[in-house]
A and B are shown apart, each in its own frame.
Chain A
Amino acid sequence: MSEKILQVKDLTVSFSSYAGQVHAVRDISFDLCRGETLAIVGESGSGKSVTTKAILGILPGNGTIEGGEILYNGMDLAKCSDKEFESVRGKKISLVFQDPLSALNPIMKIGKQIMEALVLSKAATKGEAKERALELMRRVGIPQPEIRFNQYPFQFSGGMRQRIVIAIALACNPEILICDEPTTALDVTIQAQILELINEIKERNNLSIIFITHDLGVVANVADRVAVMYAGKIVEFGRSEEIFYDPKNPYTWALLSSMPDLDTKEQLFSIPGTPPNMLHPPAGDAFHERNQYALKIDTREAPPFFKVSDTHYAATWLLDPRAPKVEPPRVLRERIERMKRRAAEHAGQ
């Protein structure tokens, strides 16, 4: 594996609220290699956005990093001061938001919003910054950038706005791009275009990407590796093929089964129950209440990571040598077979 550009170790984040401590992210570790796309997948509320906010040092006032390290370029972002963070935020690590409609300042010209960071950090003169902004707009596929430069967000469609948000994120030439559900707010055809754009930019700029989503269908097209998150913890991670073709954690099974499938008319599976309340995360394996494969031990003790391969780990007691042998549900096995066949056909063409 190539050089690790970002390492998150034992990160724990919680929020103080009137009801008590919200344990949003609990002791997660992962790393990002240079030039790869790492997808973080999980249901709403699993702590994906909180993780990105911690990495970028923009947790809201009531949130604190309780422990752990975020290592980037010899710095520990979990402990660095506001001042130190300024050299990283936007310049080395940037963020693409979920909702491009609200992410742009409604009363500031698009061009100015792209240039702003460059000019304010004195990285470029106004003229240079404008050149760069126009070039970025061209690169993210905005037609007639000279005209668009002087327009306001309300004059852009949702997909165009997301392209602008991407251009803004790229303005200072960052090394790492975090995309927090960049396509969730867009309709399907636009989604595909934006994903393509992100892939293309990644190649050109040699970016490393953390791609956050709750939609595994999107992941297959972009990710080299996948981390599955549930209730503030990572429950399985591995290379993309490993997660798709050989998932081990029952939560991953559930996620894969609930993925919409255009080929079959089969009833869409939805995971029973709701994600736990993070004020009082359940003891043991947080998923056990919704898990038909739960073992007795799951109610008491959280599973450690079991190694499946050098790159593939899963936190589930089912992988313990003493556990009964359990196969993924039949629907999922059939689905995996179909996916494999289709991939083979693609490769054969």
Chain B
Amino acid sequence: MIKYIAQRVLALLITLFIILTIAFLVIRLMPGSIYDSNEMLSADMVKILEDKYHLNDPLLVQYRYFLEDILLHWDWGTSVAVQPRVPVWEVLASKIPITLQLNFVSLLISLPIGILAGIFAAIYQNTKVDYTISFFVVVFISVPSFIFATVLQYFLAYKLGWFPIIYNATATGAAKYLSMILPITALSFSPIARVTRYLRGELIENLSSEYMLLARTKGLTRLQATVRHSMRNSFVPLANIIIPMFTNILTGSLVVEQIFSVAGVGGLLVESINSSDHTLTIAILIFYSMISLLTILIVDLSYGIIDPRVRIGGGSNG
């Protein structure tokens, strides 16, 4: 098990390094200079500034500086345009809490709702219950979250006035939570539908499996067999789809935050790209990658704990 964890962590670090490299290269290869937006600089001054920051050195040399700073001094640089001279992680840290709040809450409420809906759809397979649930699954999966965001905002907030139209960062307590409900709801439709669809499929397969029959013929009641065998086995692969689901929420959040004027990481990323704030863009990309990779790691490890074939087999036996 320890070997397994070590392998996974190593894989994570390697992946992170590759992402870091690609992010650096792609962003440096984009046209434009960070001094473009400053109209009051002469060409000489730009040259001097660029030389000072090694911006005219070959890309590989720049990459070495970049890595050295990070590895030796844990220095990711400062923002140059969005909040000049503030270290990037500080800029980011001020925006992370609200984004993560929205995204995690969305994930947390999606799981139980999706699981319940999936169980109902599977157990009442090919009945009206199943058809109704499956209809909503199709709608929720195919319509992107920003459409839901706009529709919710228009009807529930603007027309009916039940919720504030935009996120209220200054409010506290109930008013603040009230203004978070719509963005979270908009983000949750698609993950709910994904969980439902996946669990329905898994459960239907497990319900008609041979070991389910064996569980019944050895004397378990239908309920016991369903809960202890079919459901338990259906939950294991569920861990698999949490990764794409969470990335789905994260990317959806980029736009949904804009719609509800949430001052989160999504807005920051757009702003940093537009203003050529390279260091900040890289930091945000690394932040997103780190979250995804950690989710994968957690899922991988939990998978190892839940599924004995991974835990014990170690790949040798199946």
Contact = CB atoms under 8 A, between A and B. Distances in A.
Nearest to A118: B219
A104 B211 contact: yes
A257 B91 CA distance: 85
B128 to A, nearest CB: 16
B214 A165 contact: yes
A172 B219 contact: yes
A120 B224 contact: yes
A132 to B, nearest CB: 13
B309 A168 contact: no
A95 B214 CA distance: 8
A178 to B, nearest CB: 9
A141 to B, nearest CB: 19
Q: Which of A95, A104, A106 has the most CB of B within 10 A?
A: A106
A60 B208 CA distance: 9
B216 A97 contact: no
Given A90-B218, A90-B220, A155-B317, 5 more contacts: A82-B222, A89-B216, A102-B209, A105-B215, A116-B215
A294 B241 CA distance: 60
Contacts of B294: none
A232 to B, nearest CB: 21
A154 interface: yes
A106 B317 contact: no
Interface string A54-76: 00101010000000000000000
15 contacts: A58-B216, A82-B222, A86-B221, A89-B216, A90-B217, A90-B219, A94-B217, A103-B210, A107-B308, A116-B215, A121-B219, A152-B308, A152-B312, A154-B317, A155-B312
Contacts of A56: 217
Contact of A154 (B228, B229, B233, B309): B309
A165 B236 CA distance: 24
Given A56-B217, A97-B210, A155-B317, A105 B309 contact: no
Contacts, number: 82
B318 interface: yes
Contacts of B232: 107-108
A255 interface: no
Contacts of A99: 210
B307 interface: yes
B318 A154 contact: yes
B313 interface: yes
Contacts of A89: 216-217, 219
A218 B291 CA distance: 59
Nearest to A92: B219
Nearest to B311: A152
Q: Which 9 A-B pairs have the closest CB atoms?
A: A90-B219, A117-B219, A102-B210, A95-B217, A105-B211, A90-B218, A152-B308, A117-B218, A103-B210
A226 to B, nearest CB: 24
Nearest to B313: A154
B306 interface: yes
A48 interface: no
A288 interface: no
Interface string B269-306: 00000000000000000000000000000000000001
A227 interface: no
Contacts of A152: 308-309, 312
B1 interface: no
Interface string A114-132: 0011001100000000000
Contacts of B214: 95, 97, 103-105, 165, 168
B306 A107 contact: yes
Contact of B233 (A58, A107, A117): A107
A117 B219 CA distance: 6
A57 to B, nearest CB: 9
Interface in A77-104: 82, 86, 89-91, 94-95, 97, 99, 102-104
A99 B222 CA distance: 21
A171 interface: yes
A312 to B, nearest CB: 32
Nearest to B208: A60
A169 B213 CA distance: 12
